[in-house]
Amino acid sequence: MADTLKENRVRPQPASRPFGGYEVVRSTNIDEELTLTDKGTPCGEYLRRFWQPLALSSQVSDLPFATRLLGEDLVVFRTRVGQLGVLHKQCSHRGASLEFGLISDEGIRCGYHGWHFATDGRILDVPAETKPGSYARRICHGAYPVLEYKGIIFAYLGPPDEKPEFPIYDFMDAVDEDCVPYCWPLDCNWLQVRENTQDPIHLTFLHSMFGIKQFGANLANAIPYIRAHETPIGQVTTSVRRLGDIYYIRINEMIMPNVARVPDALREGRAIPNNEADAVGTGSEIRALKYKRLVPSSHGMGLSMWVVPNDNENSMFFGWHHVPKDEPQAVRDERIRQVEHGQTRDRPYHERQRNPGDYDVIASQGRIVARDNDKLTSADLGVGVYRHQLREGIRTVAQNGKPKGLDVARQAPIPTYAYALVRSAPPLGSDAEEAERVARLEKEIVADLLAFHLPHTPRTLEPV
Ligand code: FES
Ligand SMILES: [Fe+2]
């Protein structure tokens, strides 16, 4: 009997008949390799090889800012002459939090007994210490390299000798766009948050079947054709939808290990302005559209999205809204308001039930999801590929190798691949003809897009 129970705990069982609730066993096993990120865990060491965002510039004012990243309690501050510091939060003396410290020109002084720390962790002053050459002046407090880029503060928490260059991707450097930073906290493990962008079918349901339709009314009932393709820095998950007499093609990108790029939405039935070529009408009048690429480009604006763990049960989205420079403020505010709908828990419960958003479906899965309960379908291809690539990266670092994403050609900006476009799609006779044409179109666009940026033979990833 004991053996049977043990067996059931590790092998989730679905019901095999109607009203079979009694038979269902859900696993409680979490995938520790992919989900746990404290120092010394395989995934924690992997994520530590990359620069990670940890605060908005606006959160670090004249006061220290306390936060947690990858399970480490940290304090972020700006000296009185403007230099940034990221230090372990607990004072080296007797552990008071430096969030109650006094900021100086050179660093921060602990609020308890006045130990004074430089931004690189050197101990500048140990008040009332009478022994010359005391060990306190010969040790360092824990500190990390830090830099600031367009309103977001990044730190490198990995081994000092492995510190990579800070990567500048093309979406961080587009001349005709502004980067508007955001931070959305979530009270669940980072992995279930990160997977959401490689799951394009949820646009048809979560974002289209309730009262608030974040991608416009067009997407309801439009079931996409979904594929995934490897890129030099990660993967793209593509989705092709028929909307009236056009195909709407979205290419969501994952840059390993934890940065996603999501293109902008169709707005009010029109194609994305920067991706239109030739004359454009509205709604069903859209005719004869071709796609064109923008170089350099963020390929349709939209969002960049890091997901970083605070700890194993809390995480944060960081990134930028990429918006046209010449956009009127009111239009920009409305665009951002629509995108941010449902990204955090800060709404009344019944409103969240009536119009759920990304936060509600991601966090409601549980604090750390036991993934062997999943029943993956072909629509989950991008998610499956991401898990596979993540495991590969984790194991590469564990064997002292260079993981995908770090091993990029040293060029600035680094090309990325997220994109959205429309193409004309006169109705075809049969479902089989339609399926064949969509498959051909998707393959052609991806091959073209990938070949354009880097010499690279695209490898289509098949469902497993
Ligand atoms: S606890 Fe910080 S100086 Fe004593
Ligand atoms: Fe979403």
Looking at all shown ligands, the one closest to residue 141's CA atom is 1
Distance 196 CA to ligand 2 centre (A): 7
Q: What is the pLDDT of residue 338?
A: 87
Q: What is the pLDDT of residue 426?
A: 75
Average model confidence (pLDDT) across the chain: 85
Question: In this predicted model, what pLDDT tens digit does every residue of 233-265 receive, in sequence order?
Answer: 999 999 998 877 778 888 899 999 999 999 876
For ligand 1, whether the C-beta of 87 sits within 6 Å is no
Looking at all shown ligands, the one closest to residue 360's CA atom is 2
Which contacts (CB < 8 Å, 24+ apart) does range 215-218 have? 215/265, 215/266, 216/265, 216/266, 216/267, 216/268, 216/269, 218/243, 218/244, 218/248, 218/266, 218/269
Q: What is the pLDDT of residue 60?
A: 98
120: confidence class by pLDDT, cuts 50, 70, 90 = very high
- Please state, as a whole number, how many other Cβ atoms lie within 10 Å of the Cβ of residue 146: 22
Domains of the chain with CATH codes:
49-162 (2.102.10.10), 170-461 (3.90.380.10)
Question: In this predicted model, what pLDDT tens digit does every residue of 55-90 receive, in sequence order?
Answer: 999 999 999 999 999 999 999 999 999 999 999 999
- H or E stretch covering 190: helix 190-194
Question: In this predicted model, what pLDDT tens digit does every residue of 155-212 receive, in sequence order?
Answer: 999 999 999 999 988 888 877 789 999 999 999 999 999 999 999 999 999 999 999 8
Q: Are 291 and 155 in contact (CB under 8 A)?
A: no
278: confidence class by pLDDT, cuts 50, 70, 90 = very low
Q: Are 244 and 377 in contact (CB under 8 A)?
A: no
* pTM of the full structure: 0.89
Q: What percentage of the chain exceeds 90 in pLDDT?
A: 60
398: three-class secondary structure by DSSP:
helix
- H or E stretch covering 432: helix 431-453
CA–CA dist 108, 318 (Å, integer): 26
Radius of gyration (C-alpha) of the chain in whole angstroms: 24
Residue 98 Cα: closest atom of ligand 1: 2
Looking at all shown ligands, the one closest to residue 98's CA atom is 1
Which residues make beta-bridge pairs with 236? 229, 253
Residue 91 Cα: closest atom of ligand 1: 2
Least confident of 167-171, 291-295, 323-327, 336-340: 291-295
Q: Are 237 and 287 in contact (CB under 8 A)?
A: no
Pocket test for ligand 1, best of 97, 110, 126, 134 (most atoms within 8 A of CB): 110
For ligand 1, whether the C-beta of 102 sits within 6 Å is no
